[in-house]
Amino acid sequence: MQRSTVGRRAAVAVALAAGVALTLAGCGGGGDGKPSDNKASTKSAAPSGGSSSGGSSATPSPESTQVLAQIKGEKNIVVTINSAVRDTGGFVTVSGTVTNNGDEVFTAGSWQGPEVALVSSGSSVAGAVLVDQVGKKRYYVLRDTEGKCLCTMGLNLIQPKETRPIFAQFPAPPTSTTSVEFQLPTMPPAKIQISEG
C-alpha cells in the first residue's frame, strides 16, 4: 500500500514537471532570447451603427489596399475608396480614407450635406450619396435613432499629410446593381463597384 502511494506521488510529480517544461517551451520566443515575431491577426469590427465624434472613431479600417476610386478635391484633399460591400442585412458599407495633401488644416464641415437634420452629425461624410444611374435612384447615408449618420464623424482639424479612415453605410441597391456613383459634397463623383460581403 505504501509503495503504491509513493509510486503514484512520483508519477504525479513527473507529470507536473513535464507539464511545466512544455508550458515554458511554449512561451519562449525560439530559444535565442529574442521575443517571438508571431503576432495575432486583428480584424476591424464592422460598424456598430454609430461613430465617435472625437479623436477615436468607430470607423472600420479598409481590410485591403485595393483602390476602387480616388477622388481629388480642392485644397489637395484626396478621398480614396477601398471597398463597397453589400451585406446580408440590406446595407452597403463604403470604406476608405481621407488624406490632407495640402498645406493647411482641413475640417470636413461641407461634407455633412445641406440637410438641417444632419447638423448633429457635425464634420462628417453624412452628405455622401450613392447614385444608381441605371435604376435612376439615389441612396443617402443611413441614420441612427438620434438622427446622426451611420458614418465617420469628427473629421475636424485633419493636419497636412495626415490620413484618416472613413466609412458610410447606405441602403443596398438591388443585387442586379453592381456599379454606382459615389458623390461627396464639394468633391467630383466617382464610379465604384459593389462587392458581396
151 part of a folded domain: yes
Interatomic CA distance for residues 131 and 62, integer angstroms:
22
Same-domain status, 79 and 163: yes
| Residues in a beta bridge with 77 | 100
Question: In degrees, to the nearest 5, what angle opens at C-alpha 64 toward C-alphas 63 and 69?
Answer: 110
Q: What is the pLDDT of residue 156?
A: 92
Same-domain status, 2 and 81: no
Residue 155 to residues 56, 73, 181: CA-CA distances in angstroms? 11, 16, 22
Residue 20 banded pLDDT, cuts 50, 70, 90: very low
Q: What is the pLDDT of residue 165?
A: 96
157 part of a folded domain: yes
Q: What is the per-residue pLDDT across 27-72, written as a single tens digit (0 to 9) for each?
A: 444 444 444 343 333 333 344 334 433 333 444 444 557 999 999 9
Same-domain status, 183 and 106: yes
Same-domain status, 79 and 17: no
Same-domain status, 7 and 93: no
Interatomic CA distance for residues 91 and 83, integer angstroms:
13
120 part of a folded domain: yes
Would you say residue 116 has pLDDT above 50?
yes
Instruction: Answer positive or negative: Cα dihedral of 66, 64, 128, 170.
Output: positive
C-alpha cell of residue 197: 460581403
55 part of a folded domain: no
Same-domain status, 23 and 77: no
Q: What is the CATH number of the domain that holds 191?
A: 2.60.40
Same-domain status, 187 and 91: yes
Same-domain status, 76 and 163: yes
Same-domain status, 93 and 21: no
61 part of a folded domain: no
Same-domain status, 104 and 10: no
Same-domain status, 131 and 74: yes
52 part of a folded domain: no
Range of the domain at 22: 1-28
Q: What is the per-residue pLDDT across 138-190, written as a single tens digit (0 to 9) for each?
A: 999 999 888 889 999 999 999 999 999 999 999 999 988 999 999 999 999 99
166 part of a folded domain: yes
Cβ atoms 167, 152 nearer than 8 A: yes
Same-domain status, 76 and 142: yes
48 part of a folded domain: no
Could you say which DSSP state residue 60 is in? P
Number of domains in the chain: 2
